[in-house]
Amino acid sequence: MPITDLLERNSKLYGDEIALVEINPEVQEPQRVTWKEYELIQPTAAAPYRREITWSVFDEKANRVANLLLSRGISKGQKVAILLMNCLEWLPIYFGILKTGAVAVPLNFRYTAEEIDYCVKLADVDVLFFGTEFIGRVESIAADLGRERLLLFVGDSCPSFAEDYHRAAANCSSVAPKVLIEDEDEAAIYYSSGTTGFPKAILLRHTALLQAARMEAIHHETTRNDIFLCIPPLYHTGAKMHWFGSLFTGSRAVLLKGNSPSAILDAVSREGCTIVWLLVPWAQDILAALDRGDLRLEDYRLDQWRLMHIGAQPVPPSLIRHWKSYFPHHKYDTNYGLSESTGPGCVHLGMDHLDKVGAIGIPGHGWKVKIVDENGQIVPQGQVGELCVKGAGVMVGYYHDPKATEEVLKDGWLHTGDMARQDSDGFYFLVDRKKDVIISGGENLYPVQIEAFLAAHPKVHDVAVIGLPDHRLGEIAAAIIQVKEGESCTEEEINRFCTALPRYKRPRKIIFAPVPRNATGKIEKPKLREQYCGVRLVEAQNKG
């Protein structure tokens, strides 16, 4: 069945129960309001600390979005993009898009105007929903985008180049549109990228989304009594597909707009959260705050918190040992996946395998896994090869990129580009990545983009960017810079030059040294990693 059927089922069975809660810890005075009350607040009023919607209101809001889009000529197969920070409007808009039979296209909220423009055009987007935080970026490209696309603003004080989503949707029917949606229909495009830094558009079917929802609920034994705390951005497959476990079971979820240790523990305590998905830096920040005494567990209601799981980057076993010292009753899981596999879970550790922390785990529910050599042949157990996965969650392909699709999809198997080995117990361990993407705090950094930027510095002759191990972030970007002959350059100069980059893309370490290239002109990054890392990052963490 299509993923939209789950929302409609929940609305019928659990209509008056809370589906989503939004927590905004930046608001000083806690204020609890329902969605209906929030809509009556004047634009000048302060943002509420807490908002909530029931399953029936969730479904009604999605229906209004769907009917709005249909009234504007959007039909099955067309593309509608979402550029929003996490908020209570996000998921009703997403499901409203799906209810029309259109394809939802979530966009990374860190994209520059140029990247927004690129991704919108790559996916053939016809409508763009965007929020207050993106007015400047969208305005700079609106003259071009708006000629062929509908721009819908989600927030207060709608800019002149867009249409007010709230006003438009309020006049639309809350009854589900009669659009036939089938399992194999296209549902969503998520963006990923290899070492080139240019995002690829990953096309997924409803079948893949439903597989992710069922798998999440099974992996974490989610029930209707669970309450999931969602902190990562909803544009990311990781956050979305973990929340799908709540959708599958009709259980509550909390969207937290912040990731400080106190905000996380306060949300768990106030809302009674039982399942929390963290990134490594957030877990480390919580532990550091507890170690310093800045937080005290006795100040919070945490007994109901049963599961902490981590994904998006390698997890140091020492972190989990440290975590268990404070939370001995917690179950723990880690999930491996990629957007091409509809997010996390095609391989997962499982909640009863603490003795295998450091591994990415075993095949997830409904998945097959193998490790192959360069000729596509399965390698003997214990040997290193490329990790390949197969299941209902594998993407249709890269939209408008058949060549790239053929490179990674072979006989139904997705070749991940990650190197792995399998131990004698059947557990898989990552060894290295073929791709040069740096995963820092759960975010992908693309070396080629940073290299191209730094190459424009007048004193830089050559530059290479690699990932270095970091205790908190997993990896940090390091720039190896070869200065032009006869010139001298300082770290301060480079850092000052990099202020033009988004903060998360700025190199955290500058190394002045020659940049080695091979006979074909390619940077020899394995040599640089060996020189500056000493050992491979994931191997070192697996040995923990």
3-state secondary structure of 156: coil
Query: What are 72-129's pLDDT values in tens digits?
Result: 999 999 999 999 999 999 999 999 999 999 999 999 998 889 999 999 999 999 999 9
User: For position 225, which CATH number holds?
Assistant: 3.40.50.12780
- 350 & 450 share domain: no
Question: Looking at the domain assignment, is residue 213 inside a domain?
Answer: yes
Confidence of residue 321 (pLDDT cuts 50, 70, 90): confident
Question: Looking at the domain assignment, is residue 176 inside a domain?
Answer: yes
Instruction: Give the domain extent around 510.
Output: 438-543
Question: Looking at the domain assignment, is residue 265 inside a domain?
Answer: no
Burial classification of residue 204, based on how many CB atoms lie within 10 Å of its CB (0-12 exposed, 13-18 middle, 19 or more buried):
buried
- 351 & 455 share domain: no
- Total count of domains within the chain: 3
Q: Which residue stretches of 200-297 are H helix?
A: 206-219, 237-249, 261-271, 280-292
Residues whose CB falls within 8 Å of the CB of residue 40, separated by 6 or more in sequence, listed in order: none
331-335, 371-375, 447-451: the lowest-pLDDT one: 447-451
- 114 & 252 share domain: yes
- 144 & 249 share domain: yes
Question: Looking at the domain assignment, is residue 93 inside a domain?
Answer: yes
> What's the rounded mean pLDDT across residues 224-251?
94
How far is residue 357's CA from residue 544's CA, in Å, rounded to a whole number? 9
Query: What are 271-281's pLDDT values in tens digits?
Result: 999 999 998 77
Q: Max Cα separation, the chain?
A: 74
User: For position 462, which CATH number holds?
Assistant: 3.30.300.30
For residue 268, report the phi and psi dihedrals to the nearest 5 degrees: -60, -45
% of the chain with per-residue pLDDT over 90: 67
3-state secondary structure of 123: coil
Question: What integer pLDDT is reported at residue 539 of this predicted model?
Answer: 34
130-134, 153-157, 185-189, 308-312: the lowest-pLDDT one: 308-312
Question: Looking at the domain assignment, is residue 505 inside a domain?
Answer: yes
Question: Looking at the domain assignment, is residue 269 inside a domain?
Answer: no
State the amino acid at position 224 in one-letter form: R
- 414 & 479 share domain: no
- Asked whether residue 145 carries a pLDDT value surpassing 90, the answer given is no
Query: What are 389-427's pLDDT values in tens digits?
Result: 999 999 999 999 999 999 999 999 999 988 888 999 999
Question: Looking at the domain assignment, is residue 153 inside a domain?
Answer: yes
- 408 & 513 share domain: no
For the ranges 96-110, 308-322, 422-436, 526-540, the one whose mean pLDDT is highest: 96-110
How far is residue 59's CA from residue 76's CA, in Å, rounded to a whole number? 19
- Domain end position, chosen among 433, 459, 487: 433
Query: Any idea how long the chain is?
Result: 544
User: For position 420, which CATH number holds?
Assistant: 2.30.38.10
> What's the rounded mean pLDDT across residues 322-329?
95
- 138 & 161 share domain: yes
- Asked whether residue 45 carries a pLDDT value surpassing 80, the answer given is no
% of the chain with per-residue pLDDT over 70: 91
Output the six-digit token pair for 131.
Answer: 């929020």
- Domain end position, chosen among 367, 398, 433: 433
- 254 & 319 share domain: no
3-state secondary structure of 364: coil
- 32 & 132 share domain: yes
The rounded mean pLDDT for the chain is 88
Question: What integer pLDDT is reported at residue 194 of this predicted model?
Answer: 43
- 527 & 474 share domain: yes
Let me know: does 336 contact 322? Beta carbons within 8 Å. no
- 345 & 445 share domain: no
- 459 & 506 share domain: yes
Output the six-digit token pair for 200.
Answer: 């690829």
Question: Looking at the domain assignment, is residue 296 inside a domain?
Answer: no
User: What pTM does this model have?
Assistant: 0.81
For residue 313, report the phi and psi dihedrals to the nearest 5 degrees: -160, 160
- Asked whether residue 173 carries a pLDDT value surpassing 50, the answer given is yes
For residue 49, report the phi and psi dihedrals to the nearest 5 degrees: -70, -35
State the amino acid at position 425 in one-letter form: D
